[in-house]
Amino acid sequence: MAAKTKSKATAEYSDAPINQSLTDEDKIEMLRKMVRIRRFEQTSLKHYQGDKIGGFLHLYIGQESVAVGSISLLGDNDHVITAYRDHGHALSVGMNMNECMAELFGKATGCSKGKGGSMHYFAPDKNYWGGHGIVGGQTPLGAGLAFALKYKGLKGCCLCYLGDGAINQGAFHEALNLAALWDLPVIYIIENNGYSMGTSQARSSAHPEEGLAARAKGYNMAWNKIEGVSLYEIRAGVSEAVERAHNESKPTIIEIMTYRHKGHSVADANAEKYRTKEEIQRYIEEHDPINFWKKTLLEEGVITEDDYKKINREAGDEANAAAEFAEKSPFPDESEIFDDIYWEVDNNTEAGRTGRHFFHK
Amino acid sequence: MPREITYREALREGLDEELAHDENVVIIGEEVAEYNGAYKVTEGLWKKWGDKRIIDAPISEAGFIGMGIGASMLGVRPVMELMFYSFAYVAFDQMMNNAATCRYMSGGLTNCPIVVRGPANGGTNVGATHSHTPENIFANMPGLKVVSPSDPYDVKGLIKSAIRDNDPVYFMESTVLYGMSGEVPSNDELDDGELIIPLGKAKVKKEGTDITLIAHGRAVVTSLLAAEILAEKYDINAEVLDLRSIRPLDENAIMESVRKTHRAIYIEENKPFCGVGAQISSMIMEQAFDDLDAPVLRITSADAPAFYSPPIEKLQLPTAEEIVERALTIC
Ligand SMILES: Cc1ncc(C[n+]2csc(CCOP(=O)(O)OP(=O)(O)O)c2C)c(N)n1
Ligand SMILES: [Mg+2]
């Protein structure tokens, strides 16, 4: 399960055409994105502990390379959908920290007006379709976004993220069959962080020796397994699938090996019981995607230590400013409770005005 | 000093006693064993009973609940935990079609002694997907039983009955109630040596003469609070009737109380449309019309998905103040 960080492998992937075409600015931008996600998450953790945020908070710390690397490959007709550990994907598609933080604070200025919370971010204007709280629930939707692209004759794809535990939901398997049977341009990215809550992958999934994505063989679907610590490797692997989706309208399952540094959610009291402190420490020290990319860029002479410090400082400032924005924003108005339930009612159409829609009191 | 334990502990005690009582009882669910339960209901049970009796399942609700239904046909008595009752929707076909109708379609040749339990409540800011209250939906289906205990005493007695029952029982708890303490006698204080509460028996939680507040689940706690305010501030003596079991339903207890008080409000954290209160108020109207001095009212959660924002979600749920206010309109 360990993400091996061989420099030879890195060299190999950095030579991939998709990575050769990266400018220094692109590389720095990806570093900045990962650092911004981390600072955002750390800041949200602080405010969750300070009781500013309710419900659940599932942090993405340690997995930043997956969202940043894969989403860096997308164009105008490519779409993203994910599960409840969704802040990293949101910032990767370009949602801003203010709207994301305000959502956590339950404020009217949040991306979902305070209605969805941490698990349910949305930004259709950025091709980002949520943020889904039910494990596996997003996987048929991912196939559906791909279906819509194909139906409309658009050359695009949908990246649909799910966890290593989510692969055991029945809906996922039905979606896989549809995707393969109907040649839908969907790419399922299994973010294998080794655990579904307190259950290790070994205790939750039966699968071929080659790994979780190899279940694709049963559907005659392409698959791949990628070490997630390196952006080069992620970009090289995912870009093949994007090409397959764009050019052949075929689905792929990709398993990306990664690790969450924190507990399942901040409420996970057992985070250091079902895995050893040593294991967590080892991943933090040896397989942190931000440190890994920073080191790569230092070695390539793309950045200096000072550049990194500046990026880090700016991201921290941005996250603090977002928290301040969230704090100062108003809570939603009570009248909002009955908005955004029916399109027809919201838009005051004839259909929305005909018959009684709500039954409170 | 009577013994006080929490709702969570009482539930665990009931499970533990049934594991001892019948070797066919097996607990299956996500994180129920090694993790000790997402809400710690099953804490210590895996250690005590081992891998055969307490089983961690992958995130495959349709699969493992369907499996439990099948196993129950052959005499296993599975007690399945849903981490949230909201996740029942992933297993809906198994729970509605298979569990509820196999007996009927086999002309009585089969039965499904399965319990599916877990928290079914809103009010904890976890968003719409995790805040469903499906008691009315499942109670709508003949063949199923639905239980919703509101305090530690009841949750222990009812889980034991649910496990011994030979039909599917959907047992809906509340994460907000898990930490609530209350009196639960230990077995040696009981004449029968154990606490068993039959399904289908409501309980008067507070006697009164002026109005009946009928409720299930956490709404009972809210109703008791409202009854206190009504007594203190308005000199109105409200009776609080806890259904405990929604199907089977203690119709007599409802009618008896209404015939005494002549007024009723049904309070629930369910949604209004075809909620449990809709069924109850229609029954009161049919059976006790001449005893009523006012229309039966219903207080429910707001007719909207659960709002994440903590101060707004609070406004979606029934409050004691709302009950008082509406009670005053008919008293
Ligand atoms: C249908 C359903 N069952 C259970 C849950 C509770 N739950 C939320 S996340 C989770 C673990 C998922 O693990 P994984 O898919 O590996 O994703 P990760 O959390 O590691 O990102 C569980 C059991 C849920 N949200 N939905
Ligand atoms: Mg996982």
| B129 closest CB neighbour out of A103, A134, A336 | A134
Are A196 and B309 a contacting pair at CB < 8 A? Answer: no
| Per-residue pLDDT at A1 exceeds 60 | no
Structure token pair of residue A301: 């002479």
> CATH classification of B4-189 is 3.20.20.60, yes or no?
no
B16: left (phi over 0), alpha (psi -120 to 50) or beta: alpha
H or E, element range at B254: helix B251-261
d(CA B266, CA B217): 12
Greatest C-alpha distance within chain A? 68
Which tens digit of pLDDT belongs to each residue from B278-300?
Answer: 999 999 999 999 999 999 999 99
Residue A127 has which token pair? 């091709």
Kindly state the percentage of chain B with pLDDT values over 70.
Answer: 100
Query: Is A338 a residue whose pLDDT tops 70?
Result: yes
Q: How far apart are CA A186 and CA A156, in angstroms?
A: 9
Q: Check whether B150 has a pLDDT greater than 80.
A: yes
DSSP state of B28: E
Q: How far is B188 from chain A (nearest CA, A)?
A: 35
> Ligand 1 pocket, B35 CB below 6 A?
no
A354 in a structural domain: yes
CA distance A285 to B245: 54
Kindly report, residue by residue over B257-285, the tens digit of the pLDDT.
999 999 999 999 999 999 999 999 999 99
| pLDDT of A279 over the 70 cut | yes
Nearest to A185 by CA among A167, A161, A159: A159
CA separation for the pair A336, B89 (Å, rounded): 26
Closest-approach residue (CA) in chain B for A203: B58
The residues of B that are catalytic are 61, 130
Given a cut of 70, is residue A4 above it in pLDDT?
A: no
CATH number of B203-330: 3.40.50.920
Task: Note the pLDDT of residue B201.
Answer: 98
Bridge partner list, A271? none
Spatial separation of the C-alpha atoms in residues A249 and A315, rounded to whole Å: 38
Determine the Cα–Cα distance for residues A35 and A38; give it in Å rounded to an integer.
Answer: 5
Six-digit token pair at B101? Answer: 């109708």
Greatest extent of chain B over all pairs of C-alpha atoms, in Å:
58
Distance from C-alpha of A62 to C-alpha of A264, rounded to nearest angstrom: 12
Residue A330: is its pLDDT beyond 60? yes
pLDDT at residue B5 is higher than 60:
yes
* Tokens found for residue A144: 């559906």
- In chain B, which ranges are E strands? 4-6, 25-29, 54-56, 77-81, 115-119, 145-147, 169-173, 181-183, 203-206, 211-215, 238-242, 245-247, 264-267, 297-299
pLDDT range class, residue A12, cuts 50, 70, 90: confident
- Average pLDDT of chain B? 98
Tokens of B271: 């949604």
Query: Is the confidence at residue A5, as pLDDT, over 60?
Result: no
Whole-structure pTM value: 0.97
Is A238 a domain residue? yes
- Does A290 fall in a domain? no
Instruction: Let me know: does B83 contact B41? Beta carbons within 8 Å.
Output: no
Query: Which residues in A lie closer than 8 A to residue B126 (C-beta atoms)?
Result: 55-56, 117, 119, 133
Helix extents (H) in chain A: 7-14, 17-20, 24-49, 64-71, 87-92, 97-104, 138-151, 170-181, 201-204, 231-243, 277-286, 289-299, 305-328, 343-346, 350-353
With a cut of 80, say whether residue A2 has pLDDT above it.
Answer: no
Q: pLDDT tens for residues B93-133? A: 999 999 999 999 999 999 999 999 999 999 999 999 999 99
* Per-domain residue ranges of chain B: 4-189, 203-330
Instruction: Work out the average pLDDT over A84-95.
Output: 98
Q: Running DSSP on this structure, what letter comes out for residue A61?
A: T
pLDDT exceeds cutoff 60 at A202: yes
* pLDDT tens per residue across span A147-181: 999 999 999 999 999 999 999 999 999 999 999 99
In a domain, A37, yes or no: no
Residues in chain A: 361
Number of domains within chain A? 2
pLDDT confidence of residue A9: 61
CB–CB contact A359 B272 (8 Å): yes
pLDDT value, residue B2? 84
- A330: number of Cβ within 10 Å: 10
| Nearest CA distance, B187 vs chain A (angstrom) | 32
Q: Residue A187 — φ and ψ, nearest 5°?
A: -120, 115
Query: Encoding tokens for residue B19?
Result: 């594991």
Q: Show the 3-state SS of A114-144.
A: CCCCCCCCCEHHHCECCCCCCCCCHHHHHHH
Name residue A224's beta-bridge partners.
A254
CA distance A104 to B120: 23
Whether the Cβ atoms of residue A1 and residue A278 lie closer than 8 Å to each other: no
Close Cβ partners of A214 (under 8 Å, ≥ 6 residues apart) = A207, A208, A223, A225
Is A181 within the bounds of a domain? yes
Share of chain B above pLDDT 90, in %: 99
Task: Give buried/exposed letters for A302-322 (b at 16+ CB in 10 A, else e).
Answer: bbeeeebeebbeebbebbeeb
Please give the pLDDT value at position B46: 98
- Which of 307-326 (B) contact A at CB < 8 A? 307-312, 315-316
Q: Ligand 1 in contact with A290 (CB < 6 A)?
A: no
Tokens of B245: 């079991």
Q: Is residue A329's pLDDT more than 50?
A: yes
Question: Residue A240, exposed/middle/buried by CB under 10 A (0-12, 13-18, 19+)?
Answer: middle
CA-closest candidate to residue A326, choices A108, A24, A90: A108
pLDDT attached to residue A8? 54
> pLDDT tens-digit profile of B52-93?
999 999 999 999 999 999 999 999 999 999 999 999 999 999
Contacts of A133 in chain B (CB under 8 A): 126-127, 129-130
What's the average model confidence in pLDDT over A272-290?
Answer: 95
Say if residue B152 is exposed, middle or buried (CB neighbours under 10 Å; 0-12, 13-18, 19+): buried
**Average pLDDT for chain A:** 96
Q: Could you give the CA distance from residue B199 to residue B202 in angstroms, rounded to a whole number?
A: 9
For B163-173, the pLDDT digits (tens) are: 999 999 999 99
A253 and A341 co-located in one domain: no
Q: Quick check: A186 pLDDT over 90?
A: yes
Residue type, A300: E
Q: Do B35 and A170 touch (CB under 8 A)?
A: no
Please report which confidence band the pLDDT of residue A3 belongs to, taking 50, 70 and 90 as the band edges.
very low
> 10 Å Cβ neighbour count for A96?
16
CA atoms within 13 A on the CB side of B295: 6
Structural domain includes residue A323: no
Distance CA A67, CA A287 (A): 16
Find the domain containing A345 and state its range.
Answer: 331-361
> Which of A268, A286, A307 is at the close of a domain?
A268
Average pLDDT over residues A65-92: 98
pLDDT at A6: 44
Residue A7 reports pLDDT greater than 70: no
Interface A–B counts its CB contacts (< 8 A) at 133
Torsion of CA A48, A52, A55, A58, to 10 degrees: -30
